[in-house]
């Protein structure tokens, strides 16, 4: 073993060198630690909002679940999804979208208590882990606080927006794994969206079953089109004055191999979410045009039946919509004026500019455009002013009370009057009783469809109905007087 002895001569110089070296090393170590800490923080925090990311959230949730199991401490998980975020991103740009997310993050952090973990899971989805939530009323108070924070008006550039969120809540006592909790929160959030957004739903078991069914439906749907399981049904549209069938509305049905014939509400929303609606919409258009033509369906005076087809939001904003419609008509050998495409206020919301451009091109081709469920939304009148519409379909919610409810009757009268003044055709939807029919006729509504005349039917059944014809309407009092 060698021991190096320092000579008394060089000691002061050596010791200061050593100190300097130690200091350098200490600084280097601190720097390395700071870099490592920053890297960890960056890796575990969402870079845009600075909130905890999914990994941190799941870690906290796992720890909290273990604690809740051991000590019986209750907790709640909130899954918060910003409503119509895509609309903001698409219409105001990504920077505005980012600005909104940062603002929401700040608001959620402000509304949280010190024991809560607020995180951004990705996209426009945030999650909050709330500890010590003893019961549902407390959870509801917490949710109300977060909703209010999200919903404060804000400015994005020159646009004022009022954000809202759909919130899925899981209240915990016997919770299972962090993954299972988040999945349940997701199912509850989906319910909140489905019930009209800007609201919350607390998870229950039925939602889990529904979520499973939805998953199954989604995977079945992917094959349904190629397996030929979709069929158009056709609901006759009749002239109120004569009961002549002048057209049909094509309505999609799914012949499910085990669940039987399914109505659109069972699959259209999922098709819209997954984008399958574009392919389904194209199929409906092509099949309905060719089928109505193949059967040679004609109305009373040998005029081809008018065909009404529903368009979805996604279809309406598709760049090749006009070409698709033109092709379907050419392939079936039908003229453009024999078809009327139905749009709704909500289908216009996703990309108004592109939808408007498509509608204008279609109108130039002489294809009819109808406003479906008219009166149900908020801006029906402003759309009526801007769009090249030729038909108004009066929403069933007004038709149901016509002739019995004073307000419904007044609304329908006003809509018919407005349509007349603008030279548009009116169609009443969902006519179920002779009383509704008589009143609609008295008010001057042109056409109607509803179970009173015929439900949606397979093509062959429509053919039979056309041969048979519908019984004529009763004479109006004026007609009866004239006949006497
Ligand atoms: P919609 O276009 O407003 O269609 C009218 C709905 O009212 C149809 O429901 C029809 O069966 C129903 N209906 C007709 N008469 C009566 C009646 O007298 N009383 C009542 N209570 N209901 C009546 P359906 O077939 O379930 O379709 C629901 C919705 O699904 C349609 O509403 C439409 O928005 C959508 N849809 C259907 N087929 C398609 C499609 O091919 N593409 C798209 N994008 N949407 C479709
Ligand atoms: Mg319709
Ligand atoms: Mg409708």
Residue with CA closest to ligand 1 atom 45: 310
> Are 344 and 316 in contact, with CB atoms under 8 Å apart?
no
Domain annotation covers residue 148: yes
Q: What distance in Å separates the CA atoms of residue 411 and residue 408, rounded to the nearest whole number? A: 5
Burial of 470 (0-12, 13-18, 19+ CB in 10 A): middle
CA Rg value for the chain: 32
Contact by Cβ (8 Å): 305, 245 = yes
Residues near ligand 2 ion, CB 5 Å cutoff: 310, 342, 372
Q: How many domains does the chain have?
A: 2
- Ligand 1 atom nearest to 311, measured from its CA: 44
The alpha carbon of 374 and the centre of ligand 3 are apart by a number of angstroms equal to: 8
> Does one domain contain both 433 and 377?
yes
> Which residue has its alpha carbon closest to ligand 1 atom 37?
251
Q: What pLDDT score was predicted for residue 31?
A: 77
For residue range 352-373, list pLDDT tens digits in order: 889 999 999 999 999 999 999 9
| Domain co-membership, 249 together with 182 | no
Mean pLDDT over each residue of the chain, to the nearest integer: 90
In tens, the pLDDT along 448-462 reads 999 999 999 999 999
Ligand 1 center from residue 280 Cα (angstroms): 15
Range of the domain at 66: 54-209
Please tell me the predicted confidence (pLDDT) of residue 134.
87
More confident call, 12 vs 253 = 253
Residue 200 belongs to domain with CATH number: 3.30.70.270
More confident residue, 382 or 440: 440
Q: Which ligand is nearest to the CA of 432?
A: 1
Same domain? For 198 and 341 the reply is no
Q: Quick one: 241 and 186 in the same domain?
A: no
- Which residues neighbour 314 within 8 Å (Cβ) at sequence distance 6 or greater? 272, 275, 277, 278, 281, 350
SS (H, E, C) the chain: CCCCCCCCCCHHHHHHHHHHHHHHHHHHHHHHHHHHHHHHHHHHECCCCCCECHHHHHHHHHHHHHHHHHHCCCEEEEEEEECCHHHHHHHHCHHHHHHHHHHHHHHHHHHCCCCCEEEEEECCEEEEEEECCCCHHHHHHHHHHHHHHHCCCEEECCEEECCCEEEEEEEECCCCCHHHHHHHHHHHHHHHHHCCCCCEEECCHHHHHHHHHHHHHHHHHHHHCCCCCEEEEEEEEEECCCCCEEEEEEEEEEEECCCEEECHHHCHHHHHHHCHHHHHHHHHHHHHHHHHHHCCCECCCCCECEEEEECCHHHHCCCCHHHHHHHHHHHHCCCHHHEEEEECHHHHCCCHHHHHHHHHHHHHCCCEEEEEEECCCCCHHHHHHHCCCCEEEECHHHHCCCCCCHHHHHHHHHHHHHHHHHCCEEEECCCCCHHHHHHHHHHCCCEECECCCECCECHHHHHHHHHHCCCCCCCCHHHHHHHC
User: Where a domain ends, among 154, 182, 209?
Assistant: 209
Give the end of a domain, one of 154, 184, 209.
Answer: 209
CA of 210 to the centre of ligand 3 (A): 26
User: Does 484 map to a domain?
Assistant: no
Q: Are residues 309 and 407 in the same domain?
A: yes
110: in domain? yes
* pLDDT at site 12: 60
Looking at the structure, tell me whether residues 228 and 199 fall in a common domain: no
Position in ligand 1 atom list of the atom nearest CA 431: 18
- Residue 283 domain flag: yes
Please check the confidence at residue 173 and state whether its pLDDT lies above 70: no
| 344 Cα nearest atom in ligand 1 | 34
Which atom belonging to ligand 1 lies closest to the Cα atom of 272?
44
Cα of 388 from ligand 1 centre, angstroms: 23
Query: Residue range 397-413: average pLDDT?
Result: 96
Closest CA to 185 of 137, 119, 141: 119
Asked which of 187, 209, 231 is the last residue of a domain, the reply is 209
Counting ligand 1 atoms within 8 A of each CB, the residue from 253, 264, 436 with the most, and so the one to mutate, is 264
159-181 mean pLDDT: 88
At residue 413 the predicted structure's pLDDT band, cuts being 50, 70 and 90, is: very high
Question: Cα–Cα distance between 373 and 384 in angstroms, integer?
Answer: 13
Give yes or no for residue 276 having a pLDDT over 60. yes
- Is the pLDDT at 44 greater than 80? The verdict is no
CATH number for the domain spanning 311: value is: 3.20.20.450
Res. 300 pLDDT band, cuts 50 70 90: low
Tell whether 310 and 445 lie within a shared domain: yes
Structural domain includes residue 16: no
């Amino acid at each position: 073993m060698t021991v190096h002895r320092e000579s008394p001569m060089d000691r002061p110089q050596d010791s200061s060198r050593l100190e300097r070296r130690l200091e350098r090393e200490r600084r280097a170590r601190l720097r390395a630690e700071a870099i490592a800490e920053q890297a960890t923080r960056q890796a575990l925090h969402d870079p845009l909002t600075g909130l905890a990311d999914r990994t941190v959230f799941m870690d906290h949730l796992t720890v909290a679940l273990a604690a809740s199991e051991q000590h019986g401490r209750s907790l709640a998980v909130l899954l918060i999804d910003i409503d119509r975020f895509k609309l903001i991103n698409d219409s105001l740009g990504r920077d505005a979208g980012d600005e909104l997310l940062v603002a929401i993050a700040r608001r959620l952090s402000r509304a949280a208590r010190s024991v809560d973990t607020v995180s951004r899971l990705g996209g426009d989805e945030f999650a909050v882990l709330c500890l010590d939530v003893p019961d549902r009323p407390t959870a509801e108070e917490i949710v109300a606080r977060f909703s209010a924070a999200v919903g404060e008006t804000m400015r994005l550039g020159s646009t004022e927006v009022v954000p809202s969120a759909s919130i899925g809540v899981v209240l915990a006592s016997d919770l299972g794994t962090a993954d299972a909790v988040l999945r349940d929160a997701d199912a509850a959030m989906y319910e909140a969206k489905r019930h009209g957004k800007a609201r919350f739903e607390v998870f229950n078991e039925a939602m889990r079953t529904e979520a499973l069914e939805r998953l199954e439906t989604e995977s079945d749907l992917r094959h349904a089109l190629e397996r030929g399981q979709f069929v158009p049904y056709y609901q006759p549209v009749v002239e109120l004055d004569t009961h002549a069938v002048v057209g049909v509305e094509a309505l999609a049905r799914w012949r499910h191999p085990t669940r039987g014939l399914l109505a659109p509400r069972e699959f259209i929303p999922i098709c819209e979410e997954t984008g399958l609606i574009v392919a389904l919409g194209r199929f409906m258009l092509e099949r309905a045009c060719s089928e109505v033509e193949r059967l040679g369906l004609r109305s009373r005076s040998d005029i081809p039946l008018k065909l009404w087809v529903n368009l979805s939001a996604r279809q309406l904003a598709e760049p090749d919509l006009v070409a698709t419609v033109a092709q379907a008509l050419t392939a079936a050998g039908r003229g453009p004026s024999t078809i009327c495409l139905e749009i709704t206020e909500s289908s216009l919301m996703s990309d108004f500019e592109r939808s408007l451009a498509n509608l204008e091109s279609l109108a130039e081709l002489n294809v009819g455009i109808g406003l479906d469920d008219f009166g149900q939304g908020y801006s029906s009148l402003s759309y009526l002013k801007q769009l090249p519409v030729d038909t108004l379909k009066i929403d069933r919610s007004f038709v149901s009370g016509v002739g019995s409810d004073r307000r419904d009757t007044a609304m329908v009268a006003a809509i018919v009057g407005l349509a007349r003044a603008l030279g548009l055709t009116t169609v009443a939807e969902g006519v179920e009783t002779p009383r509704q029919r008589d009143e609609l006729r008295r008010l001057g509504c042109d056409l109607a469809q509803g179970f009173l005349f015929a439900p949606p039917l397979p093509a062959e059944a429509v053919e039979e109905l056309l041969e048979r014809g519908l019984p004529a309407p009763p004479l109006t009092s004026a007609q009866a007087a004239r006949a006497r």
